[in-house]
Amino acid sequence: MIWRFNFAVNRALIMHREPILDMQLLQERISNAAMDLFASACVLSRIDGEIQLTRRNGGTPSPDHSAANLFLYQSFRRIRGFLAGLSDNDDKAVIAAAKSCLTSG
């Protein structure tokens, strides 16, 4: 997932160059994907810590991490959506509608 993030962000930077600094809709998708990646890394670290602690104390780690797994599945789905939105989006229509509202209001 991190490789996909890196690839998508680099592609967006190469495609848009400096104008990307003003493309808030693209920036939002990149930042949302980054936040979900960070949160996923935290969840994975927490699970790993629990497993390591249990093993150090001579116990058997619980195989049930259903809440963490659900979070990770949903997070990865959101990340894929954010990254896909970097190239497949309705940004031009959104910007046109916003400009129309601002000029007519």
Q: What CATH class does 2-104 carry? A: mainly alpha
What pLDDT is attached to residue 67?
96
Ordered mean pLDDT values, 10 residues apiece, the chain (105 residues): 84 79 86 97 96 90 91 98 95 92 83
Instruction: Locate the domains of the chain by residue range.
Output: 2-104
What pLDDT score does 23 carry?
Answer: 81
Distances from the Cα of 61 to the Cαs of 1, 7, 11, 42, 46, in angstroms?
26, 35, 41, 18, 13
Does pTM surpass 0.75?
yes
User: CB pairs under 8 A, 24+ apart, for 14-22?
Assistant: none
Cβ burial 43-75 (10 Å sphere, 16+ → b, else e): beeebeeeeeeeeeeeeeeeeebeeeeebbeeb
The reported pLDDT for the residue numbered 22 is 74
pLDDT at 86: 93
